[in-house]
Structure 1
């Protein structure tokens, strides 16, 4: 009897193994991949449109297959706002940049004195200006002591200057050659007896010894009272954000708008459409995973689109902290005029996901997603790539998606193969069931057999 029980357990294990064998046709969509560079490892920046094809929020149903339909070993490089290193803050020296009030050049000419290590000790106008002839054009920041990529600029200024302040940002390593780093905007506003301030400006995550800030409107520029730079560990540079397409919303009661996301996502930023100029909207953003759950407040802030000097000054983003949400609700304080009767569209951003796979067998390779029943199969990066380092990750071959997601193949050959596989599964389960019935019958007969007489 023991031998028959062992045979039954063996058949059960075989049946479970056959049932666990996954093929591309088991997934709702397949996306062709193209690979370039040296293998055998390839790194794929997973587009958000592909990620939304998954049926499981943690991407447990993601797979990579080769041309023969064999699964490839893979790992996921993901990070969340809760676990990511927020970086290190550095107080930096600041030097005012004065120029003649009637000068045509936006960047003033200055005389600079620095130490042998590059640290600035003095910055003066190239020529002596009389009182009333000089204008504060901008500021020079000394970042020579920061040896890591710069992620954020944080400014504070005297309270005499309220409103919006815009400026250009340039970077240099030798104070001679400057490269553009975009534009920045800070603000200090009073609304409904409350003060709303914006001090932070995003930087591109690159190294630089010096930064130059030049005001768009020098006549109304404030005097800085503090300047800080936030740097990131070069070994842990955060993955970029990827933005969704515009998502239509619906309007509830006055001043309330809601949006339904395609699936539960770890949202880190939202961008709200501001259709009309001179819009000012204090808002509160809430979210939840399911309709049955209560709303949880995520963040708040002031959204605006105001016209100054013939240009639109826009702040339409809210920062979150990577909470998993599938529904969002924006509540607007309509004392600012509201956002109109029609719900604005909304874009959301999530942190990028990288798929790293070990190419085995012949290509072309394909990405498969969309199966709510499979279990996770990804490996740790340190297991997939021996002696893994971030530098190794950057040097891997590159994979990219080609075209649109494809439905599973429905050719005659695939259908026949699937049918054959199904008959094999049915046969194994039938054998297993017959074995269990046979063992049950044996046990029943043993129980009914009268005990042996002593």
Structure 2
């Protein structure tokens, strides 16, 4: 019986001492699933690394807490994670003045310097536009769009946004967009841009934006000409604005694109998934071939969650013009469900990519190279330093993060592999070990009690027999 008492006491002492075990166990590269060798072409106390897409896809944690840099001796070196930023930001929309135009019959021209066709477009305000080309028979309802009279400076226009009241009937058409500085010479900016306004029950889908790449200014191009493909429309244009980008002291983050793999469910539905949930701030949905496709989009945070509505969109791919990216709030997204509206999926499925903030890793080159970028460890904790703790303020002008030498991640390094994605941290291991040990002590105590009860029962049986 004494030996059982000693075992119980020893187990209890082990449980107690386990609570004081040190969790500060030195990490090694093999604690991580995957790695890349880092090439450092020039000597520097600090380097920056643009994280490869594989890091975002394979990280065990959405916040990338399991990213590390090790030196040649296998020691972890100090590092910081910083958002990649660009100095261009979206500017508020600039409202344009709208002048409806009437179209004259097409005229033929046979002068020595010009052969083709001509059409006159006139507004009630006195504006007069002459279009001449080899073929203008597609000219329909037209609008002259002009910068405000008090506009100053230039606008790098990325998009023209149009507005109209809800039409009485479904409508779908195309339009051409021209630009000019003097209303005499016109250049084609966009051809066959798709536009639509369709309703199905209580649902309404509008496509009222045209992507552009033009710098407008009072001294340069200040006129836009919007020409629809039909002479009559079931709607009247009453709003037009241009959205541009410009240089600003404010910055916005750059994104990395992560493709989702597709699973066609039916002729009308396809689902896209990522191997691990990603904090997406935008969604890119692209048609591979020319076409227009109205769709409803849904999302979920994990494979066990219910689908939640994201919105209805009109996807298009015409004349190298693509649908805009769809904004997301930065929540974790594991899957996207796409369902067509009054249409079937094309043979070539739409391509869906999630966009998340792109990060730069800045590390202090302690020890000898070559250095290794490592990631993929469920047991990892966040050890990244703030930039202030990595580069002293007095040196940050001389060693600005954006000007640091770039360490390039190149050939893969074989590390711990897929199993590290389910690794358990030392704290969790100690907790599990203590839990099992407590259960073992309890079971041992029960066995001791049973043994003692049996011993007493046997002694009673002997006394009765005597």
> Normalization by structure 2: what TM-score?
0.59
8 Å contact from structure 1 (residues 138, 212) kept in 2:
no
| Closer/same/farther in 2, CA of residues 159 and 237 from structure 1, 3 Å limit | same
Q: Which residue of 1 aligns with 2:92?
A: 89
| Closer/same/farther in 2, CA of residues 219 and 77 from structure 1, 3 Å limit | same
> What is the DSSP-based 3-state SS (H/G/I as helix, E as strand, rest coil) of the residue aligned with 2:249?
helix
Q: Provide, for residues 39-73 of structure 1, a one-character-per-residue CA deviation record: whole Å limited to 9, x for no partner.
A: 43322222222321211111110001222222222
| Closer/same/farther in 2, CA of residues 94 and 66 from structure 1, 3 Å limit | farther
- Alpha-carbon separation, structure 1, partners of 2:78 and 2:355: 28
- Alpha-carbon separation, structure 2, partners of 1:171 and 1:65: 58
Mapped pair 1:297 → 2:302: no
Q: 1:163 aligns with which of 151, 162, 172?
A: 172
| Closer/same/farther in 2, CA of residues 281 and 235 from structure 1, 3 Å limit | same
Tell me the CA shift for residue 324 of structure 1. 0.7
| Closer/same/farther in 2, CA of residues 203 and 392 from structure 1, 3 Å limit | farther
Mapped pair 1:371 → 2:377: yes
Q: 2:273 aligns with which of 231, 235, 260?
A: 260
- Alpha-carbon separation, structure 2, partners of 1:148 and 1:397: 34
User: After the TM superposition, which residues 205-224 of structure 1 pair with which residues of structure 2 at under 5 Å, given as runs?
Assistant: none
The number of aligned residues is 368
> What is the DSSP-based 3-state SS (H/G/I as helix, E as strand, rest coil) of the residue aligned with 2:261?
coil
Q: 1:72 aligns with which of 69, 77, 81?
A: 77
- Alpha-carbon separation, structure 2, partners of 1:350 and 1:364: 29
Q: 1:34 aligns with which of 27, 35, 39?
A: 39
Greater mean deviation of Cα atoms: 53-62 or 239-248: 239-248
> What is the DSSP-based 3-state SS (H/G/I as helix, E as strand, rest coil) of the residue aligned with 1:71?
coil
How big is the alpha-carbon RMSD for the aligned residues of Structure 1 and Structure 2? 5.5
User: After the TM superposition, which residues 4-15 of structure 1 pair with which residues of structure 2 at under 5 Å, given as runs?
Assistant: 12=20, 15=22
> What is the DSSP-based 3-state SS (H/G/I as helix, E as strand, rest coil) of the residue aligned with 1:33?
strand
| Closer/same/farther in 2, CA of residues 214 and 203 from structure 1, 3 Å limit | closer
8 Å contact from structure 2 (residues 195, 207) kept in 1:
yes
Tell me the CA shift for residue 304 of structure 1. 4.7
User: After the TM superposition, which residues 123-272 of structure 1 pair with which residues of structure 2 at under 5 Å, given as runs?
Assistant: 141=147, 145=152, 153-156=160-163, 163-165=172-174, 185=193, 187-192=195-200, 194-200=203-209, 225-229=239-243, 231=245, 234-245=248-259, 247-251=261-265, 255-272=268-285
- Alpha-carbon separation, structure 2, partners of 1:33 and 1:45: 11
> What is the DSSP-based 3-state SS (H/G/I as helix, E as strand, rest coil) of the residue aligned with 1:248?
strand
Q: Which residue of 2 aligns with 1:358?
A: 364
Structure 1: gaps of 5 or more residues: 109-122, 173-178, 411-428, 430-454
Q: Which residue of 2 aligns with 1:331?
A: 339
- Alpha-carbon separation, structure 1, partners of 2:175 and 2:131: 27
8 Å contact from structure 2 (residues 194, 316) kept in 1:
no
- Alpha-carbon separation, structure 2, partners of 1:407 and 1:204: 45
| Closer/same/farther in 2, CA of residues 324 and 158 from structure 1, 3 Å limit | same
Mapped pair 1:283 → 2:296: yes
8 Å contact from structure 1 (residues 283, 303) kept in 2:
no
8 Å contact from structure 1 (residues 286, 295) kept in 2:
yes
8 Å contact from structure 1 (residues 148, 234) kept in 2:
no
8 Å contact from structure 1 (residues 150, 203) kept in 2:
yes
| Closer/same/farther in 2, CA of residues 284 and 16 from structure 1, 3 Å limit | closer
Q: 2:414 aligns with which of 404, 407, 421?
A: 407
8 Å contact from structure 1 (residues 279, 339) kept in 2:
no
- Alpha-carbon separation, structure 1, partners of 2:245 and 2:392: 29
| Closer/same/farther in 2, CA of residues 270 and 40 from structure 1, 3 Å limit | same
- Alpha-carbon separation, structure 1, partners of 2:20 and 2:309: 49
| Closer/same/farther in 2, CA of residues 345 and 251 from structure 1, 3 Å limit | farther
Structure 2: gaps of 5 or more residues: 1-12, 119-125, 133-138, 182-186, 418-432, 434-466
| Closer/same/farther in 2, CA of residues 256 and 373 from structure 1, 3 Å limit | same
Mapped pair 1:25 → 2:30: yes
Structure number with bigger Rg: 2
- Alpha-carbon separation, structure 2, partners of 1:268 and 1:377: 25
> Normalization by structure 1: what TM-score?
0.61
- Alpha-carbon separation, structure 2, partners of 1:31 and 1:124: 63
- Alpha-carbon separation, structure 2, partners of 1:365 and 1:180: 52
